[in-house]
């Protein structure tokens, strides 16, 4: 334990798993514990670890252990300074420590530095493309240059940033929110939790976030998908990317799970080839029966998909779309949306599609993917024409 106790001084130490809830599969918060005159105060550090990652008062067995321990050392030093100041002032109020820590830290840390420190924790264990999005956010924040300190976190500054983004390549509301505002808001919420700021400006700004789940607009129709499958590619490089994307559509998972695909995990169920796993993003189980075109692609590449980085994959897909005469801005995520949409429009029940996609509930599938192509709507309604006319 990191324990510090002096005559007439409060006890200060770190506590972990105060309620005994932590386990091998459940992390818990590290808290700063202060005790004085039969009164106790618990202050969250914002750091959650598993029991195997906390030993003798130090974070261990994690790639970011050094950074986290530095943060804890600094927080402990700040807490001791605040308490020493209180003793010298002649009045120790342990319940006022969080506010005093806030004043102390806000002088020492600018907002951008705070965000970068928090990002080290947020990025831990995330997929490569998610980590890249954090990096792009920081590049924007630094190039924009008008939100640097905690004093810049005002409603007026948020509105000014949004107006700047509106002019940036005619960025739509949902793109602005997900690419920049959402990240900024998440760091502001962290700062609030650590009592570095009192008010989140986003709480009082009416921000247009666009329509929910408009990502479904990003899918290929059956005709477009078949054209992409059959159009000869001008280069072997693009043929590999096209094949990967076609397999990706049948696979119906995100890039992270595609990159982790292992043909050795394919099972034979009822004479059919089936791939099962857990989504890297959520840990939810998924089950994908591999259709013959997907198996043909696997056979073409001897069971090993021609995986490339998410960035290059996205870049090359633009060339693949052009070669196939498809005027859509293809990205890797289009594969998952295309696969889910084609299954639904082929008549696969919603519950089955939900299991293929690895959704936590059928309601999520209904919200995100239950958008039928016009022809499907017409075909289904016309089936009952003689019953209602």
Query: What confidence score (pLDDT) does residue 166 get?
Result: 85
pLDDT (tens place) for every residue of the chain, 389 residues total: 444 444 478 999 999 999 999 999 999 999 999 999 889 999 999 899 999 999 999 999 998 899 899 999 999 999 999 999 888 888 899 999 988 887 776 655 688 888 998 888 888 777 676 788 888 899 999 999 999 888 888 899 999 998 898 887 666 666 777 778 989 999 999 888 777 777 889 888 877 766 544 444 678 988 999 999 999 999 999 999 999 999 999 999 989 899 999 999 999 988 899 999 988 777 888 999 999 999 999 999 999 999 999 889 989 999 999 999 998 889 898 999 899 888 888 878 888 888 888 887 887 777 666 555 455 545 655 565 555 44
- Overall size of the chain counted in residues: 389
Structure tokens at 373: 């192509």
Residue 357 in contact with residue 340, Cβ under 8 Å?
yes
Q: Over the Cα atoms of the chain, what is R_g?
A: 26
Phi, psi of 34 (to 5 degrees): -125, 130
Instruction: Calculate the CA dihedral of residues 244, 249, 251, 252 and round it to 10 degrees.
Output: 140
Tokens 């590619």 appear where?
Answer: 233
- Three-state DSSP class for residue 323: helix
Phi, psi of 122 (to 5 degrees): -65, -35
Report how far residue 163's alpha carbon sits from residue 165's, in angstroms, rounded to the nearest whole number.
Answer: 5
Query: What confidence score (pLDDT) does residue 321 get?
Result: 93
Which of 207, 203, 16, 6 has the alpha carbon at shortest distance from 88? 6
- Sequence-distant (6+) residues with CB within 8 A of 140 are 180
Query: What confidence score (pLDDT) does residue 54 get?
Result: 95
- CB-count burial class (<10 Å; 0-12, 13-18, 19+) for 293: middle
Query: What is the strand order of the sheet 39-49 is part of?
Result: 11-16, 28-36, 39-49
Which of 335, 334, 336, 345 has the alpha carbon at shortest distance from 370? 345
Query: What confidence score (pLDDT) does residue 364 get?
Result: 73
pTM for the whole thing?
0.50
Query: What confidence score (pLDDT) does residue 389 get?
Result: 43
Phi, psi of 262 (to 5 degrees): -130, 110
Report how far residue 174's alpha carbon sits from residue 210's, in angstroms, rounded to the nearest whole number.
Answer: 5
Roughly what angle, to the nearest 10 degrees, separates helices 65-89 and 97-108? 120
């Amino acid at each position: 334990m990191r324990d510090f106790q002096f005559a007439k001084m409060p006890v200060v130490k770190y506590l972990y798993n105060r309620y005994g809830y932590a386990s091998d599969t459940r992390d818990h918060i590290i808290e700063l514990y202060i005790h004085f005159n039969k009164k106790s105060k618990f202050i969250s550090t914002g750091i959650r670890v598993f029991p195997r990652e906390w030993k003798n008062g130090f974070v261990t067995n994690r790639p970011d252990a050094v950074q986290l321990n530095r943060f804890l050392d600094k927080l402990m030093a700040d807490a001791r300074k605040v308490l020493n100041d209180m003793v010298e002032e002649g009045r120790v109020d342990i319940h006022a420590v969080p506010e005093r820590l806030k004043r102390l830290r806000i002088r020492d840390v600018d907002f951008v530095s705070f965000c970068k420190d928090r990002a080290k924790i947020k990025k831990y264990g995330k997929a490569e493309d998610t980590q890249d999005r954090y990096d792009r956010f920081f590049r924007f924040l630094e190039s924009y240059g008008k939100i640097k300190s905690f004093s810049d976190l005002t409603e007026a500054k948020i509105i000014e940033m949004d107006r700047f983004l509106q002019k940036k390549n005619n960025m739509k509301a949902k793109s602005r929110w997900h690419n920049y505002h959402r990240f900024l808001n998440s760091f502001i919420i962290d700062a609030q939790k650590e009592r570095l700021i009192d008010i989140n400006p986003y709480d009082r700004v009416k921000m247009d976030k666009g329509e929910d789940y408009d990502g479904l607009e990003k899918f290929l129709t059956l005709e477009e998908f078949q054209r992409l499958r059959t159009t000869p590619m001008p280069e072997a490089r693009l043929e590999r990317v096209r094949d990967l994307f076609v397999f990706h559509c049948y696979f119906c998972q995100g890039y992270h799970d595609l990159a982790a695909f292992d043909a050795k995990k394919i099972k034979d169920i009822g004479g059919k080839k089936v791939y099962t796993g857990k989504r890297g993003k959520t840990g939810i189980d998924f089950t994908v029966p591999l259709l013959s075109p997907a198996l043909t692609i696997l056979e073409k590449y001897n069971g090993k998909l021609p995986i490339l980085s998410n960035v290059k994959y996205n870049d090359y897909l633009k060339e693949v779309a052009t070669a196939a005469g498809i005027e859509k801005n293809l990205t890797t995520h289009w594969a998952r949306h295309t696969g889910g949409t084609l299954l639904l429009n082929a008549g696969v029940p919603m519950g089955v599609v939900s299991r293929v996609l690895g959704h936590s509930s059928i309601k999520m599938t209904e919200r995100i993917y239950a958008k039928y192509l016009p022809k499907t709507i017409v075909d289904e309604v016309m089936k009952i024409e003689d019953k209602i006319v």
